[in-house]
Amino acid sequence: MSAKPNLHTILSPRLLDIYDVTDSIVVIIDVFRATSTIATALYNGATRIIPVDSVEKCIELGNLTGGITAGERDGKIIPGLKHGNSPAEYPRSFIEGKTLVLTTTNGTKLLHMALQSGASEVVTGSFPNLSALCQHLVQQKKNVFLGCSAWKDRFNLEDTLFAGAVIEQIKSHFTIHCDSSLMAENMYSLHKHDLKSFIQHTTHWHRLAQYGLEKDLEYCVSPDKANILPFYQNGDLVIA
């Protein structure tokens, strides 16, 4: 029997450095809404997405590249940037052939932490690109870390449910000795048939629903609507 690669789930950016992610694939998960928006914009023809960790850098790179600046803090568009963090803002008619410079509260932060941690590959995952991600992880035969972006380092359900959806699809290809992964798979299995109603119990739903984003959030838990694999390369997220 040849050894299967390992799979772990990391429930908060605060827990990333407990794990040795060298020579591994780190999947950045920020279901509401950074990684859902990243998959959607690339699927709809964006040339590349530049994830940045500060508003200043977002504006600077927007000017330098002629790209569209976008970002949110605490669910609201940041003053000085042109667009927000909703996948609905990036249809093909708007984003095709363009560069998107994106900064968000949680997802872009974890992405930069993962890049600095020695991971051999950083990709992004969300329900809109669930199957493309799973197919890639199985093909690579490398250790995998599913990294939940959480909310200001606090555990969140939506990222965990997505980790569970991935584990359900690919678990037979991996060795999994990880309570976080077992929990994530259990939670997904418990709620997969009523995801859209269950997420209305999450704290993030209550945070964002007050801005009228229910349709957005429902899209963000719908599988394979933007089924490509965003892959980090030389500062950009592009289609793998």
Q: Which CB, 8 or 48, lies closer to a copy of itself? A: 8
Q: Is 196 in the site for a copy of itself (CB under 8 A)?
A: no
Which of 206, 215, 218, 224 binds a copy of itself (CB under 8 A)? It is 206
Cβ pair 160, 39 in contact under 8 A? no
Give me the least distance between CB of 165 and a copy of itself, in Å please: 15
Q: How many CB atoms lie within 10 A of CB 8?
A: 22
Instruction: Determine, following the binding rule CB under 8 A, whether residue 29 of this chain makes contact with a copy of itself.
Output: no
In angstroms, give the least distance from the CB of 8 to a copy of itself.
Answer: 9
Could you say which of 73, 140, 142, 155 contacts a copy of itself (CB under 8 A)? Answer: 155
Number of residues that bind a copy of itself (CB under 8 A): 26
Please report, for the chain, how many H helices and E strands are present, in that order: 10, 10
Distance in Å, CB of 164 to a copy of itself, minimum = 11
- C-alpha–C-alpha distance, residues 50 and 2, integer Å: 38
Q: How far is the CB of 143 from a copy of itself (least distance, A)?
A: 16
Q: Considering only the stretches 72-80, 88-96, 118-126, 199-207, report the one whose residues sit in contact with a copy of itself under the rule CB under 8 A.
A: 199-207
Torsion of CA 144, 145, 148, 149, to 10 degrees: -110
Judged by beta carbon, residue 15 or residue 240, the one nearer a copy of itself is 15
Chain residues 157-176 in contact with a copy of itself, contact rule CB under 8 A: 157, 160
Assess whether the previous peptide bond of 33 is cis (omega < 30° from 0): yes
Helix axes 107-116, 34-43, angle to 10 degrees: 90
Question: Out of 7, 11, 27, 39, which residue is the one contacting a copy of itself (CB under 8 A)?
Answer: 11
Q: Measured between alpha carbons, how far is 59 from 53 in angstroms, rounded to an integer?
A: 11
Single out the segment in contact with a copy of itself by CB under 8 A; choices: 29-37, 101-109, 183-191, 221-229: 183-191
Q: How far is the CB of 196 from a copy of itself (least distance, A)?
A: 16
> What does each C-alpha distance from 108 to 103, 150, 196, 197 come to in angstroms?
6, 11, 25, 27
End-to-end CA distance of the chain: 31
Greatest Cα pair distance, the chain, in angstroms, is 56
Q: Closest CB to a copy of itself among 209 and 239? A: 209
Residue 196 CA to residue 222 CA, distance in Å, equals 9
Q: Does 193 bind a copy of itself (CB under 8 A)?
A: no
Contacting residues for 56 by C-beta, under 8 A, at least 6 apart: none
- Is 200 among the residues that bind a copy of itself (CB under 8 A)? no
Task: List residues near a copy of itself by CB under 8 A.
Answer: 11-12, 14-15, 18, 152-157, 160, 177-180, 182-183, 186-187, 190, 201-204, 206
